[in-house]
């Protein structure tokens, strides 16, 4: 079935259900462009709109029941006018919060509850009391606020609600609810106590992640991508990276931040044509060059993260010598050479890993990072290849790797990690020739930054 056919398959009754929900979120998000003139403030008390009542979640659940399947972003776009969509939302089994309720839950968005900041806006830890919402148990939460001056806007907020509101899997972060009140756009998630994989790999949170923990995280994240790619309506994640892999108290991996997620191709379509967006260092080369997005684009990004897990080094690190700044360019050829395994592996592991398992992981990463997407495995095959390695424990740990790089470089690297480093750097020369990216620096807390890129070509208006 083509994308157009899928959209037109919605019945008049189904469209009216979603149209009713669209009308429930008043105030208008304004999107990325119109919001920039707004003053950046922490939300204060606002009178509740008619969306912010106990019936909001019931409406969403009723709509999902009426449809009987997940709606794609395209389906939603076909149900209302552009103006209506700017104030619309959709979800399943989600709780509707007011700004006042979330302000109370986070103690007024107290600085001490600040967890970090991404392209959408700052994130705060909070707590919901027992019976604060019918059926919602007392629990810690993470509240993400929309920053009108940030890199993302209402469309990304809506995308997050559409995808995470309908998708449930052990390796996806659970979206508990949302707030759409006046100009405010907030998202409420389960709290992930161990933070992001990025922080553990590069910020030296004690203790150093063990080999078995790293491998478990890789397998869990891979299973999350399998679920998305193999869904009845496939989803392409498009922003797979270490900062979007969150960890629960047992270090179980869960994918977060679906603001850039896209519906995958269906029927005879082979790809989705879209504006190129993402974090530099993780995007697949063919996606950057052509704007053609497929599930194999996520596979490439997974390969980048797998190499980061192996090496303990960032995808892009400007503090290193120029030829070593791009991790994939520097190390990909080593991945297939067992004799160079020691040069790849993170010295922080101190040799405490199975050499045979590590080499097999390296080969999985090598295939995922192929320049030709047809040569990359699908994520189901990646799980098949990686999961048995969790049980490989009979190898004798090899000797710790010492003085792999010059002492001066080691000091530079350590200083970079201590200060949060520069997460992402310049583009590859080949990619620079193809597109001219616009850079937006995301603030992610003290000493942290992330370069978020949007590539443009003449006449490129897709999103």
> Is 462 part of a structural domain of the chain?
no
Rounded distance, CA 122 to CA 120, Å? Answer: 7
Instruction: Name which of 383, 364, 386, 390 is nearest 375 in CA terms.
Output: 364
Mean pLDDT to the nearest integer, 41-45: 51
Domain finish residue from 136, 159, 190: 190
Question: Are residues 232 and 134 part of one domain?
Answer: no
Paired residues of 199 in beta bridges: none
Last residue of one domain, picked from the residues 190, 214, 246: 190
Q: Is the same domain home to 102 and 148?
A: yes
* Pair (19, 126) in one structural domain: yes
Identify the pLDDT of residue 108: 92
pTM over 0.85: no
Q: Which one is catalytic: 75, 147, 239, 257?
A: 239
User: Among 48-52, 145-149, 423-427, which range has the highest average pLDDT?
Assistant: 145-149
Question: What pLDDT sits at residue 121?
Answer: 80
Note whether 300 and 405 are same-domain residues.
yes
Cβ(303)–Cβ(281) below 8 Å: no
Q: How far apart are CA 4 and CA 134, in angstroms?
A: 39
- Residues of the domain holding 383: 197-456
257 close to 239: Cβ distance less than 8 angstroms: yes
CATH of the domain at 135: 3.30.200.20
461 within some domain: no
Q: Report yes or no on 337 lying in a domain.
A: yes
pLDDT in tens, 402-443: 444 444 444 444 454 444 444 444 444 444 444 444 444 444
Task: Say if residue 17's pLDDT is above 70.
Answer: no
DSSP string, 261-330: -EEPP-TT---EE--EEEETTTS-HHHHHH-EE-HHHHHHHHHHHHHHHHH---SB-TTS-GGGSBHHHH
Residues 158 and 295 in one domain: no
**What is the distance of C-alpha 340 from the center of its chain?**
31
Q: What is the largest CA-CA distance in the chain?
A: 69
When pLDDT is averaged across residues 79-108 and rounded to a whole number, the result is: 70
463 domain-assigned = no
Q: Is 411 helix (H, G, I), strand (E, B) or coil?
A: helix
Q: Note whether 158 and 256 are same-domain residues.
A: no
Catalytic annotation present for 239:
yes
Q: Are residues 346 and 243 in the same domain?
A: yes
If asked whether residues 213 and 93 sit together in one domain, one would say: no
Q: How many domains does the chain have?
A: 2
Determine what percent of the chain is predicted with pLDDT higher than 70: 62
């Amino acid at each position: 079935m083509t994308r157009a056919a899928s959209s037109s398959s919605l019945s008049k009754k189904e469209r009216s259900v979603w149209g009713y929900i669209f009308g429930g979120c008043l105030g208008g998000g304004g999107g990325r462009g119109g919001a920039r003139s707004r003053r950046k403030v922490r939300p204060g008390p606002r009178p509740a709109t008619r969306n912010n009542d106990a019936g909001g979640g019931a409406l969403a659940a009723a709509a999902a029941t009426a449809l009987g399947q997940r709606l794609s972003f395209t389906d939603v776009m076909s149900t209302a006018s552009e103006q209506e969509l700017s104030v619309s939302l959709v979800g399943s089994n989600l709780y509707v919060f007011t700004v006042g309720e979330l302000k109370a839950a986070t103690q007024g968005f107290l600085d001490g509850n600040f967890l970090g900041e991404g392209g959408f806006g700052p994130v705060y830890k909070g707590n919901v009391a027992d019976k604060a919402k019918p059926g919602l148990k007392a629990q810690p939460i993470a509240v993400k606020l929309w920053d009108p001056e940030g890199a993302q806007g209402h469309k990304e907020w809506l995308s997050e609600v559409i995808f995470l509101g309908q998708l449930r899997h052990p390796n996806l972060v659970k979206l508990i609810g949302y707030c759409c009140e006046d100009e405010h756009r907030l998202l409420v998630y389960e709290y992930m106590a161990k933070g992001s994989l990025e922080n553990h790999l590069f910020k030296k949170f004690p203790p150093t992640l063990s080999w078995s923990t790293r491998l478990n995280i890789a397998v869990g994240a891979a299973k999350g991508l399998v679920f998305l790619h193999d869904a009845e309506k496939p989803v392409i994640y498009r922003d797979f990276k270490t900062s979007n892999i969150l960890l629960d108290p047992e270090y179980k991996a869960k994918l977060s931040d679906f603001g850039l997620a896209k519906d995958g191709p269906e029927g005879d379509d082979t790809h989705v044509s879209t504006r190129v967006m993402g974090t530099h260092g993780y995007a697949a080369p063919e996606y950057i060059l052509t704007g053609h997005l497929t599930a194999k684009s996520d596979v490439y990004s997974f390969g980048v993260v797998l190499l980061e897990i192996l090496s303990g080094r960032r995808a892009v690190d400007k503090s290193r010598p120029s030829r070593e700044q791009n991790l994939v360019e520097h190390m990909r050829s080593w991945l297939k050479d067992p004799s160079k395994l020691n040069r790849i592996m993170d010295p922080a592991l101190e040799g405490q890993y199975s050499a045979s398992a590590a080499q097999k992981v390296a080969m999985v990463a090598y295939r995922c990072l192929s320049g030709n997407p047809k040569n990359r495995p699908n994520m189901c095959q990646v799980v098949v290849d990686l999961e048995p390695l969790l049980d490989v424990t009979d190898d004798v740990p090899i000797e710790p790797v010492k003085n792999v790089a010059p002492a001066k470089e080691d000091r530079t690297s350590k200083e970079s990690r201590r200060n949060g480093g520069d997460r992402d750097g310049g583009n590859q020369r080949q990619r620079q020739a193809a597109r001219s990216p616009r850079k937006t620096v995301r603030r992610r807390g003290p000493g942290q930054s992330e370069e978020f890129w949007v590539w443009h070509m003449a006449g490129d208006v897709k999103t």
